[in-house]
Amino acid sequence: MEGEQTVDLIRVQLRKQRALAGMNQEEFGKRTNYSGSTVSAVETGTRPVDLPYARRADEILETGGLFESLLRTAQQDGQPAWFMPWLKAERAARQLRYFNPTLIPGLFQTENYARAVLRFDDTRPEQEIEQQVAARLERQEILKRERPPQVVAVIDESALRRSDAIMAEQLAHLLRMAELPHVHIHIIPASAGLHIGLCGPLLLAMLPDGTWIGHLDSQLGGEASDTEEKVAKLLGVWECVRAIALPEDLSIALIKEVESQHGPQ
């Protein structure tokens, strides 16, 4: 609820600051490189406020980063409490490890893919979905830092072969992510058969002091794991799934092969 209230405040202030600057929606749109209809949609709540829009508004209205700051606060408020320990660890990490047997990891998801995943819960209000999509995309900013974390992801081949219209776009994006020097993607081929990773996804973060934190997702939410025993268990599972995954070059070749089967984007 707090996140939604902050987003509403952002929209009110966007309208107010635009009016104080003497610009109507069309004029503001021209200055910010958005259409007047987009400006209207943002201000009325039919289009979510995202970071690029907030940053551009701050620049044109000379608000000193106000809207970006408010939006980041709203996105954090909108995260479930069980996810906050992992989110904090992810932002601080020097190394990140992701494994998922069924989905593309959130750090590599496109907007359309993230939206489709979040709609698995058909009781979730559309406004909440859009807020969560924006928050998931904002997490990906860590990949663009001047000194980003090293990211290694292992994905089961089955996650690539979802016969959905958005998969061609998602796979193309995954290939672009794999081109980043600090990102390493490995695929477990279907030929590997049954393996321990099929028990569920896991996430691991190595913090600046060298300690590791793990995270496990479930149907009811998620759980951060920072005890020595639990982290050791997760690191052991990670080594197992990493060991049966293909090398990077063969993984990329497999992603390209699957992408070609989805047809043109």
Q: What pLDDT, in 10s, does the model give residues 174-218?
A: 999 999 999 999 999 999 988 888 888 899 999 999 999 988 776
Q: What pLDDT, in 10s, does the model give residues 71-118?
A: 777 666 556 655 677 778 888 999 999 999 999 999 999 999 999 988
Q: Specify the pTM.
A: 0.70
> Do the two domains 2-77 and 82-261 of this chain adopt the same fold?
no
Q: Which pair of structure tokens corresponds to residue 65?
A: 């980063």
Tell me the C-alpha to C-alpha distance, in Å, between residue 15 and each of 9, 50, 63: 10, 16, 13
- CA–CA separation, 231 and 121 (whole Å): 30
Find the mean pLDDT for residues 162-178: 90
* Mean per-residue pLDDT over the chain, rounded: 86
Domain boundaries of the chain, sorted by first residue: 2-77, 82-261
Measuring CA to CA, which residue among 6, 11, 9, 14 is closest to residue 32? 14
CATH of 2-77, one of 3.20.20.70, 3.40.50.1000, 3.30.1510.10, 1.10.260.40: 1.10.260.40
Q: Does domain 82-261 have CATH number 3.40.50?
A: no
